[in-house]
């Protein structure tokens, strides 16, 4: 059981391999050996000289491959699964380590916190997902690099049915460029092992069109999604992508308590999926000016305490 992991914030690759009660974590500079004492729900790791990065990789490897595992102790210091997956260091480029004072601004008549804005092409999140055997990543759209793929996806009938953006490249180029300068949203591509799979618009709901339709809070997040690469359609891949997207949005801003979605109420693929994923629930149906929508909600505590990663 050997696997390669990217430590996103350190921008370094590590491998982890468990064999005969020994877990070896190999990095760019050294190998770290952990002795493993197995339990069903708890594992003890011991090591004379373990770096924090090596310890995090060791825990990621064990938690990822042992879904029944609740706690890992490294040299007698215990970490619970729900706590571990709320640490952004391994997976999230922009994860907030120390909260800074909030600064506020107006968008129209809506007052909201000032939002960070990543740069085109930036890697936001990357995590190996054993359920699909691939590394799922989110990166900010790069118009020059991604436009042809974005145009091809939107001109597929099953995508256009819900997005209604089967337009020429020039119009879609303008759409992406506007998205990149809009502080309330981040246009991203999701990739499997570096292969573009789909498009996600991640946004802050307070200043979005969705904000007035429910009791939105300052750091609520939402997203619009499409899976444009037909080779990656299907429940298992969709499940891995949506869990990773939810994970990223909770990590990127620790004050985010809720993630919202507002698909068309007749989008049965999404509605059926939510029914299988207890962290999400359908709150209500409501009318936008342009569509009848279903309001969906995922709460932080349900997501992390539900052992969904």
Tally Cβ neighbours within 10 Å of residue 301.
Answer: 10
User: For 125, how many CA atoms within 13 A lie in the half-sphere containing its CB?
Assistant: 27
Task: Please give the Cα distance from 235 to 274 (Å, whole number).
Answer: 11
Q: What is the pLDDT of residues 142-194, one digit of tens each?
A: 999 999 999 999 999 999 998 999 999 999 999 999 999 999 999 999 999 99
Assess whether 262 carries a catalytic annotation.
Answer: yes
Q: What is the pLDDT of residues 276-303, one digit of tens each?
A: 888 999 999 999 998 999 999 999 999 9
Task: Please give the Cα distance from 6 to 84 (Å, whole number).
Answer: 16
Phi-psi region of 133 (alpha: psi -120 to 50; beta: other; left: phi over 0): left
Determine the average pLDDT of the residues in 14-25: 94
Task: Please give the Cα distance from 255 to 105 (Å, whole number).
Answer: 18
Task: Please give the Cα distance from 204 to 192 (Å, whole number).
Answer: 25
Least confidently predicted of 93-107, 174-188, 191-205: 93-107
pTM above 0.75, yes or no: yes
Confidence at residue 189, expressed as pLDDT on a 0 to 100 scale: 98
- Which residues are 36's β-sheet partners? 45
Confidence at residue 307, expressed as pLDDT on a 0 to 100 scale: 85
Q: What is the pLDDT of residues 226-276, one digit of tens each?
A: 999 999 999 999 999 999 999 999 999 999 999 999 999 998 888 888 888
> Where in 10-169 does DSSP place strands (E)?
12-19, 22-26, 31-37, 42-46, 71-74, 77-80, 104-107, 110-113, 123-129, 134-140
Nearest to 280 by CA among 308, 306, 299, 307: 299
Distances (CA, A) of 129 to 14, 224, 271: 15, 22, 23
Could you tell me the domains of the chain? 2-84 (no CATH), 105-305 (3.40.630.30)
Buried b (16+ CB within 10 A) or exposed e, 31-68: ebbbebeeeeeebbbebeebeebbbbbbbbbbbbebee
Determine the average pLDDT of the residues in 123-141: 96
Per the residue annotation, which of 262, 285, 297, 301 is the catalytic one?
A: 262
Six-digit token string for 210: 């969705």
Task: Please give the Cα distance from 62 to 136 (Å, whole number).
Answer: 18
Confidence at residue 93, expressed as pLDDT on a 0 to 100 scale: 86
**Positive or negative: CA dihedral 115, 116, 120, 121:** negative
Task: Please give the Cα distance from 129 to 193 (Å, whole number).
Answer: 11
Determine the average pLDDT of the residues in 46-55: 83
pLDDT at 75 over 60: yes
Span between the terminal Cα atoms of the chain, in Å: 18
* Whether the Cβ atoms of residue 208 and residue 184 lie closer than 8 Å to each other: yes
């Amino acid at each position: 059981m050997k696997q390669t992991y990217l430590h996103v914030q350190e921008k370094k690759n590590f491998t982890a391999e468990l064999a005969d009660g020994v877990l070896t974590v190999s990095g760019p500079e050294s190998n770290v050996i952990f002795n493993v004492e197995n339990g069903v729900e708890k594992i003890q790791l011991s090591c004379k000289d373990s770096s924090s990065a090596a310890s995090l990789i060791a825990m990621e490897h064990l938690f990822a491959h042992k879904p029944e595992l609740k706690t890992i102790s490294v040299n007698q210091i215990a970490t619970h699964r729900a706590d571990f997956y709320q640490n952004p260091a391994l997976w999230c480029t922009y994860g907030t380590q120390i909260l800074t004072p909030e600064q506020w601004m107006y968008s129209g008549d809506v007052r909201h916190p000032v939002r960070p804005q990543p740069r085109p092409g930036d890697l936001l999140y990357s995590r190996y997902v054993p359920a699909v055997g691939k590394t799922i990543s989110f990166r900010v759209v790069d118009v020059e690099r991604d436009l042809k793929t974005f145009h091809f996806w939107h001109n597929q009938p099953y995508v256009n049915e819900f997005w209604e953006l089967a337009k020429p490249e020039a119009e879609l180029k303008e759409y992406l460029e506007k998205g990149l300068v809009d502080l309330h949203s981040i246009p991203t591509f999701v990739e499997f092992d570096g292969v573009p799979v789909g498009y996600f618009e991640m946004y802050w709901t307070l200043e979005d069109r969705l904000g007035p339709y429910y009791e939105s809070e300052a750091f609520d997040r939402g997203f619009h999604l499409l899976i444009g690469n037909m080779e990656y359609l299907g429940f298992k891949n969709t499940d891995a992508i949506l869990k990773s997207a939810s994970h990223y949005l909770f990590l990127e801003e620790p004050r985010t308590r809720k993630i919202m979605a507002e698909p068309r109420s007749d989008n049965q693929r999404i509605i059926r999926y939510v029914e299988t994923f207890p962290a999400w629930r359908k709150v209500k149906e409501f009318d936008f000016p342009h569509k009848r929508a279903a309001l969906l909600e995922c709460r932080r505590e349900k997501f992390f305490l539900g052992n969904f990663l």
